[in-house]
Homo-oligomer: A and B are copies of this chain.
Amino acid sequence: MRKAVDTVFRYLAVLQCVPAHPARKTTTRILAELREKDPEFNVSARSMQRSLEQLSARFPITCETVGRTNHWYWIDSHAMTQLPAMTEHTAFALRLANEYLRPLMPPATLRLLDSYFNHANRLLKGSALGRWANRARIVARGPLLTPPPVKEDVQRAAYNALLNDRLLEINYRSRSQQRSQRVALNPLGLVFRETVAYLVASAWHYPDVRHYALHRMSKPRLLDQPAGTPPGFRLASHIRDELRFSYPLASGNIPLRAAVSPEVAEHLAERRLSGDQRIARHADGRIVVEASVANTQELRWWLLGFGSAVEVLSPASLREEFAAQSRAMQAMYETEAPS
């Protein structure tokens, strides 16, 4: 039964089945995959050949003829079409997302999303929204840190190794040693800390689990040997243990009480620290914030950043930490600056 809608449907399925550039599929493979996915895919091989040929006239797909068989692929993965089409609002949101993510994500990971951002930009360029570049600004916290560049092949290999549970052989240039060293890693997880991506892995024979920054890797090679997970390994608990000293992620919450300046109170009135946050204005003019928050290092950073605009009242242990911190700082700054 030949209906144009069916044809459209089928063509879309074909287009979705054709892979993006580095990969490719033969005509018969595409047909087989589609037949398997949808049993009512009753077209002859000839029709499939014709479909692909037709589609290649209007979409950026081509075939490379090796021998007698055609291998199909998308030429330009940046040329993207989607149904339904992206709206201007969504395009704008994507543009914002891009700006937000740029200082946070490893560049190689971000590059995977480039086609989306490009698509959004192309859409906005034509419309009145194009001016929005000058009409929206993101005021970020913290300075813009420059993310270290990760080699694209390293990123791909690391993701693949983790995905397929395979050993990953790389040159690793650790911070302490100048020269890089060839190691085979047993990938267990990925941790992103600000802009840096770390592969959580155990080196070849050794049982201990360590962190390897992706940007210090080079010359990746996927080994055929399957990787093994140490019994009982769980990424969440590993992070808690491994990063205990630098970034403790305590499980329990603590009841925080702090006196804050009007500016900070205003800040917190809009973005609450927790669901149960309460802000009370005392008789003496001080504003006290109460909230149960996770007892983390990040909390300390964040509170400390406000300086004298925030005074931790309780828990007593946290107050003592801050008192010690301020004593140390005061001692530091009261001496003359060394040249």
Contacts and interface: CB of A to CB of B under 8 A. Distances in A.
Contacts of A96: 105, 109, 192
A97 B111 CA distance: 12
A335 B162 CA distance: 53
A302 B299 contact: no
B84 A16 contact: yes
Contact of A93 (B112, B146, B243): B112
A45 interface: no
Interface string A200-240: 00000000000001010000000000000000001110010
Report the copy number of this chain in the oligomer.
Answer: 2
A92 to B, nearest CB: 7
Interface of A: 3-9, 11-12, 15-20, 23, 54-55, 57-59, 74, 77, 80-85, 87-90, 92-94, 96-97, 100-101, 104-105, 109-110, 112-113, 116, 127-129, 132, 134-143, 145-148, 156, 159, 162-164, 175, 188-196, 213, 215, 234-236, 239, 243, 246-247, 249, 259, 263, 266, 269-275, 286, 293-294, 296, 298-302, 304-308, 311, 313-314, 316, 319, 322-323, 325-330, 332-334, 337-338
Contact of A85 (B19, B246, B301): B19
Given A4-B11, A135-B162, A141 B143 contact: no
Contact of A97 (B23, B105, B247, B304): B105
